[in-house]
Amino acid sequence: MSRVFVLLVLAVITRPTLAGEFDPIDAFVRQQMKAVGIPGMAVAIVKDGKIVYMTGYGESSPGVPITPQTPFMLASISKSFTAMAVMQLVEVGKINLDNPVKQYLTRLHFADEEAAGRITVRQLLHQISGFSTLSGRKHFFSRDVGQEALERGVRDNADEWLTASPGEKFQYSNVNYNMAALIVSEVSGMPFEQYVREKIYAPLKMTNSFTNEADAKMHGLTVGHRFWFGYPVAANDIPYSHTDLGAGGLFSSAEDLALYTLSNLGDESGKAVLSPAGFAELHKPGFHILRDIHYGLGWFVIRKPGEHLVWHRGDMVCFHTDIMLAPDERIGVVVLINANSPSKGVQLINVAEGVFGLARGKEPHVFKNDPVPNIVMYAILALIFLQLFWMVRTVRKVRCWKRYPELRPKRWKMWMGVIVSIILNLAIASAIFVVLPAVFEIPYSAIYLFMPDAFWVATICGGIALFWVVVRNVLVVLGFSIAVQNAAASKTS
């Protein structure tokens, strides 16, 4: 009870009095939480070198309010920390961004040594190494938190073949940033976790930031949520490991990320971790992705006349996070949400986009939610009902043949039905278990982590197809044979 009381007091102390300037932001956040079904979130806004707004919404766990000090899993925002660590070592002459990765990871074996020998550190950070998005998602079920987990994960990924030549194609892959984190460890001579704590967290006074889940939980890590058919459900046992530490394994709070954001916007505190030129290099447009969007070093970047925006999002099983910067306006926004689902993806992004727009004096820019994940899931659900209808209809038809042999189809029609059934059911199973993961570039088993409702719907559908491709045709062939025998018997009688 004492801990709950302390957190309640903190919530009151740290929640600013909402002056008129922030009323629209507060109202927008509350409206979005209700509309999307967000159980809890934290928001921080910095402007002109100061934290001007910082508060928590909803609950961290039942009865415990979220505060600006509540830790969240950062997911892919961790990539910006990894890029900063690399840049720090660049500034002291220990890393050259254009040197081959193999110069720093001399013990690492690659599946394609020749191609891998051309991957540079810069290409890792620009996400153009040639490693695929899918290869970066293979450790989602890992629970390896051992001291060498990061290296074990990188070694496992290095054994995979590149899907593009280095420098040729943007492929957002966790492999790149885990490999970069391992370079930091090798060059600095200390574990990546220790490096981040000593060289980034400590200088920026980020006291509610952590490099492992155990420490974050000890300091009030908020409970993450997954959505089941649109409703958030707490998930307390999601796998966590250090194999993806450099790409998405860090933890922090809204208050600490506000300090981090200030450093990225040129605040005096930033000099404790990186030079202004170093920050400029991180935020510079790197590899062009589409339209005006580039990937810099750990950040997405838009830079065009009249507009310079820098941002990164994080999406892990139960968390969605955003940091958005407008360097020329000296404005930054942090939004941390303790729930996530691909079916809610655009709606969650809209929260940060809206807060960012309001902080800049603009109307919230709201994107339309991507209907594809829900369309796919409900289409599969509808297919299950069709499968069940088909099963009932087939069983009744076979029973009818047995009782009234004269109603049986011609033999060639029966075999045609068997062939069509085999093709159709195998096509359904292949579409679910093979095509679907390939299209979304995620291992099938990992769908369970991100969209458990869709996973079970798809698994039931695919399972019925595999079951029915055998049982249905055995029933039909046996039923037809019995009908033929019954017909012959009735003639002789």
What pLDDT score was predicted for residue 369?
A: 66
Q: How many CA atoms lie within 13 A of 409 on its CB side?
A: 14
Return the SS3 of 53: strand
Q: Is 474 helix (H, G, I), strand (E, B) or coil?
A: helix
Please give the pLDDT value at position 484: 87
The pLDDT tens digits for 86-109 are 999 999 999 999 999 999 999 888
Whose CA is closest to 216, among 79, 69, 315, 348?
69
Q: Is the pLDDT of residue 373 over 80?
A: no
Q: What whole-number percentage of the chain has pLDDT above 90?
A: 71
Quote the CA–CA distance of 199 and 272 in Å, as a whole number: 9
Q: Determine the pLDDT at residue 31.
A: 92
pLDDT of residue 18: 43
Q: What's the pLDDT at 368?
A: 63
Contacts of residue 313, defined as CB under 8 A and 6 or more positions apart, other chains included, come to 75, 76, 77, 320, 321, 322, 349, 352
Q: Which of the four pLDDT bands, split at 50, 70 and 90, describes residue 365?
A: low
Pairwise pLDDT comparison (368 vs 167), residue with the higher score: 167
Q: Taking the CB of residue 430, how many other CB atoms lie within 10 A of it? A: 13
| pLDDT band at residue 366 using 50, 70 and 90 as cut-offs | low
pLDDT at position 272 over 70:
yes
- 167 DSSP β-pair partners: none
Q: What is the pLDDT of residues 289-308, one digit of tens each?
A: 998 999 999 999 998 888 89
CA gap 359, 342 in Å, rounded: 26
User: Is 110 within 8 Å of 260 (Cβ atoms)?
Assistant: no
Nearest partner of 251 among 167, 162, 165, 314, judged by Cα: 314
- In contact, 170 and 300? CB cutoff 8 Å: no
pTM exceeds 0.85, yes or no: yes
**Burial class of 288 by CB neighbour count within 10 A (0 to 12, 13 to 18, 19+):** exposed
Check: CB of residue 301 under 8 Å from CB of residue 292.
Answer: no
Lowest mean pLDDT among 35-44, 364-373, 380-389, 402-411: 364-373
Q: What is the pLDDT of residue 115?
A: 86
The strands making up 339-340's β-sheet, listed across from edge to edge, are 231-234, 225-228, 339-340
Which residue, among 336, 309, 308, has the nearest Cα to 322 in the 3D structure?
Answer: 336
Tell me what pLDDT residue 203 has.
Answer: 97
pLDDT interval class at 141 (50, 70, 90): confident
pLDDT tens digits for range 171-196: 999 999 999 999 999 999 999 999 99
CATH superfamily for domain 2-359: DD-peptidase/beta-lactamase superfamily (3.40.710.10)
What local confidence, expressed as pLDDT, does residue 367 receive?
63
Residue 370 has pLDDT above 80, yes or no: no
Burial class (CB in 10 A: 0-12, 13-18, 19+), 109: exposed
The overall average pLDDT reported for the chain is 91
Q: Hey, where are the domains in the chain?
A: 2-359, 372-492
| Residue 272 phi, psi dihedral angles, 5° rounding | -75, -20
Paired residues of 302 in beta bridges: 293, 309
pLDDT number for residue 2: 41
Instruction: Round to whole Å and give the CA distance between 476 and 474.
Output: 6
pLDDT per residue over 442-491, tens digit each?
889 888 999 899 899 999 999 999 999 999 999 999 988 998 888 888 77
